[in-house]
Amino acid sequence: MVRNPERRAALVDAAIEVLARDGARGLTFRAVDAAAGVPAGTASNYFTSRDDLLAQVTVQIHQRIAPDPDEVAEVMAAPRSRALVADLMRWINRRVTGDRTGYLAMLELRLEATRRPELQAELTRVMRATLDDDLGFHLESGLPGDRTAVLLMYLAMTGLMLEQLTLPGVVPAEETDGLIVELVDRTIGAEGKREPG
């Protein structure tokens, strides 16, 4: 049977929606077929197993949540400063809230990876590569802050994202911009370097 690449992509997108809405336990071929609006049995014609589907979701979700290169270039047109770093962190935060489904699906993938060693290995590889790219981008772009500062901001932003996606009332949305600016200031320090601890 010849498989349609557009239909495969639509099925993976539907799987991301199901994963975000129903969690990993709700991710079945039947649920994906229903979410994609295709006849029952379609997903099983495109994916050999649930693990195959999860692997495809892992790849596509990163493409979905990756920033548009043109938007990055526009943001990076500003002078390299702490203010630009804070703008970048606020922009990341807006992207998370703007694609809540994509990021919730990513959280579900992370949880599912704790129970599936193969998925954990692949997701760890993908996330490590993404983090290395982000570190390299920050340092090579001449932005203030060393590698440790960037890692600390990554970890803090990951925590903020978790709160906003799962328990948004813990840190009210109107406080996040100020907290992000404070995070950047305290992490990078007054001279663009991490202050001694």
Predicted confidence (pLDDT) per residue in 33-75, tens digit: 999 999 999 999 999 999 999 999 998 998 888 888 898 899 8
Q: Are 37 and 80 in contact (CB under 8 A)?
A: no
Predicted confidence (pLDDT) per residue in 104-132, tens digit: 999 999 999 999 999 999 999 999 999 99
Looking at residue 63, what is its pLDDT? Answer: 86
Torsion, Cα of 132, 124, 82, 147 (10° steps): -50
The Cβ of residue 145 has, within 10 Å, a number of other Cβ atoms equal to 21
Looking at residue 1, what is its pLDDT? Answer: 47
Please state, in angstroms and as integers, the Cα–Cα distance from residue 102 to each residue in 86, 97, 127, 135, 142, following that order: 23, 10, 15, 22, 30
**Greatest pairwise CA separation for the chain in angstroms:** 63
Global pTM? Answer: 0.85
Looking at residue 128, what is its pLDDT? Answer: 94
What's the whole-number mean pLDDT along residues 168-174? 90
Q: How confident is residue 190, by pLDDT bands cut at 50, 70 and 90?
A: low
Looking at residue 193, what is its pLDDT? Answer: 46
More confident residue, 155 or 67: 155
Predicted confidence (pLDDT) per residue in 64-110, tens digit: 888 888 988 998 999 999 999 999 999 999 999 899 999 999 999 99
Residue position matching structure tokens 């802050």: 145
